[in-house]
Amino acid sequence: PRLMKGEQHAEQGLGPDPAAPPQPKEEEEALIEFHRSYRDLFQFFCNNTTIHGAIRLVCSQHNRMKTAFWAVLWLCAFGMMYWQFGQLFGEYFSYPVSLNINLNSDKLVFPAVTICTLNPYRYTQIKEELEELDRITEQTLYDLYKYNSSSTLGTHPRGRRDLREPWPHPLQRLWAPAPPPGARGVRSAASSVRDNNPQVNRKDWKVGFQLCNRNKSDCFYQTYSSGVDAVREWYRFHYINILSRLRDTSPSSEDMLDNFIFACRFNQASCNQANYSHFHHPIYGNCYTFNGKNNSNLWMSSMPGIKNGLSLTLRTEQNDFIPLLSTVTGARVMVHGQDEPAFMDDGGFNLRPGVETSISMRKEALDRLGGDYGDCTKNGSEVPVENLYLTKYTQQVCIHSCFQDSMIKECGCAYIFYPLPKNAEFCDYRKHNSWGYCYYKLQDAFSSDRLGCFTKCRKPCRTGSSRCYPDRTIILSTTKEMGSPNSTSSSRS
């Protein structure tokens, strides 16, 4: 039908018809189409990939030898690529460590130096019991070896008067037939712990003392092949029980600092009383710590040499010497950090009297990476062992605390050479008649790591140690004063 004029203009105002969408080209259709076979897909991959050599597999398809050659070459290159990927990932997940060593010559805080008299003095409170123990020891030595030691155990010979009462755990000679060659030592019929002592000059008998549990149902002999070792360990065992009866294990002020240290200088300046602190060790006697954590003004060291370190002139005495506890004379020295306890048994060394000893020191700092790189602890807060020393965490502090904790749990009392925890008391066979039996068995388990202390106590992530290197010794003269054997020793560090 014919349109009106207005309608025609309205239709013309709509504009031209929209253009149809362009038809995809043949190349574009190939990118989205599905291939009919894996062969076509493989050919498409080889023609369009950027991997070198892949297109050769298609171009040489009419020559099987070339195709096989390029296929092998391509697979080898592909395998090498993934082998390198494996090497890189393996190295990454192995958490490699880069070691950096820096040598610095800046000022350092001078370490703490602890020095002991090596003379466990007889306390006034237990002097009578120690004299009784000496008389029993003299009698024991005479009964076992027909040896009269009354002239060597003290300044004045002691008479062999009647003893008050027999002490527990007497030292006795035990029959022990020698095993056949190549055979291991066999336990005694009454023994429940294997004798781990070295076989030195073994005869057909041993020396030891018997230890039993609380109800006497299990006993064993703590035996030694050497009579000297047996007497010393037996004396030490009774000495521990005597010390445990004192509320305060520190002796009276019989040995003042002036009687032990004649001169003290650091960087050519004289020391004063504020530069040291005092404590007593049951075996090593009176000990003095110079430049310890209680010192308000720590010493600094910047120059090496004898004149720039600590210089001490010492005097050693043997007026009241206990030879069965300490067989040496002189002084015991240990160098340690200000925030670390002085383990004189573990890290100390002896100085001979009558000589001058120069000691050089080197400080070493070690940082360990924790987490996946290693098993270490920052401050010991996650270690399941209570720090009894109330000092900085070290592995040795943790091990000693772990053993003391095991002593309290297993034996019901604390070992006197370690700190005393709260609500505990030191071992004494008058109160804990079986603590010796428990201690020696526990010590054997500790040495073989059956207690787990070495597993629980991890190494600290950051630690520093001072290593000592004796340089030289110069022989000096020995002096005698007031009718007693005295000797002078000088030590510089």
Q: Where are the domains of the chain?
A: 27-93, 127-243, 369-460
Q: Write the burial class of residue 276 (CB in 10 Å: 0-12 exposed, 13-18 middle, 19+ buried).
A: buried
Compute φ and ψ for 454, nearest 5 degrees: -70, -25
Looking at CATH, the fold of the domain delimited by 369-460 is given as: Helix Hairpins (1.10.287)
**Low pLDDT (below 50) residues in the chain:** 1, 3, 9-12, 30, 154-162, 182-202, 253-254, 472-493
Contacts within 8 Å (CB) and 24+ apart, 408-417: 410/438, 410/442, 411/435, 411/438, 411/439, 411/442, 412/438, 415/439, 416/240, 416/243, 416/244, 416/249, 416/282, 417/240, 417/282, 417/283
Residue of 396, 409, 401 whose CA lies nearest to 340? 396
**Inter-residue contact 330 to 353 (CB < 8 Å):** yes
Q: How far apart are CA 322 and CA 320, in angstroms?
A: 7
Phi then psi dihedrals of residue 34, to 5 deg: -90, 135
Q: How much is the pLDDT for 339? A: 87
Residue 114 to residue 333: CA distance in whole angstroms? 6
48-55 contacts at long range (C-beta below 8 A, 24 or more positions apart): 52/77, 53/77
